[in-house]
Amino acid sequence: MRTWQITDWCEPEQMHLVAAPLPEPGPSQVRIRNRAAALNFFDLLQIQGKYQSRASFPFTPGAEVAGVVDAVGAGVIGIAAGDEVMAFANGGGYAEYSLADSFRTFPVPEGMSVEKAAAMPIVYHTAWFALKQRAQLRAGETLLVHAGASGVGMAAIQIGKALGARVLATAGEPAKLDFAIRQGAERAINYRQDDWVEQVKELTERRGADVIFDPVGGDVFDLSTKCVAQEGRILVIGFTSGRIPTVQVNRLLLRNISIVGVLWGDYANARPWYPGEVQRALNALYSEGKINPVVSHEYPLEDAPRAMRDVAERRATGKSILVIK
């Protein structure tokens, strides 16, 4: 099979497309003949050696795929060869075949394209876990989603609205602001403007946002502490800005606010039943037309370095996909 391989920390252009043996599924694993694989910003951090966990060399990036089950390991129940599925890959998404744990592998919902299916697992499960489990977002609350045109921002806007929240979003250019509005945000604010914090306050009658969804970190996080409501929650999703922020805890004290960490992977590993439960909830929202992954860019597997560079330079909205034939 063809697979992109990392043998040292590198930039996308330094990855190698190589031939490799088919991986064999272990107990409770499935092997998937990939038809699509989604890109995420953390894929870039992973190959650069900047992610919070480091893979052993050689490795293949990519954490979410969709395709057809090709083989199953011992103990797999309810999944068979020939099933069309989406999955959290055990790494190795940028390849013709990937392995996935059976509890992180789900049937593709009726009517969903394979490209949209590949775009769903990471961002929608992360957003659901953040908003429903960690923030306990309530109907009628105001949710502010940073990076509203990103994949995870898109998912957070759609899920937040489906949960009954009033959704505001930020993005950095007009086309991305328009994209966030199309996903369901009531208003979209340009975070490059010096007064974006003041705009949030004005839109919330000076209260601030009850929940702030922050995959950016850096200055965006710092300023978010100034526009969060009393008893509000700031969700720490990631640090695409490149700077991990710190917080003056007196701000937490004075406004009774909470800084809430969101790490889906470890939570799901300890609760193998949880991903399936979430996927069922997401499938229901999809069938009701309340969520819908947006794939804005498609690339052949051979163009993975260009695709990663476009993600790194924030040229894409929604999700970008590798199409694998």
- pLDDT at position 262: 97
- pLDDT at position 52: 82
- Which residues in the chain come in under a pLDDT of 50? none
- pLDDT at position 29: 98
Architecture of domain 124-265: 3-Layer(aba) Sandwich (3.40)
Architecture of domain 2-120+293-323: Alpha-Beta Complex (3.90)
Residue 80, CA distances (Å) to 30, 69, 100, 105 in order:
9, 7, 13, 11
Number of Cα atoms under 13 Å in the Cβ half of residue 311: 30
Domain ranges of the chain: 2-120+293-323, 124-265
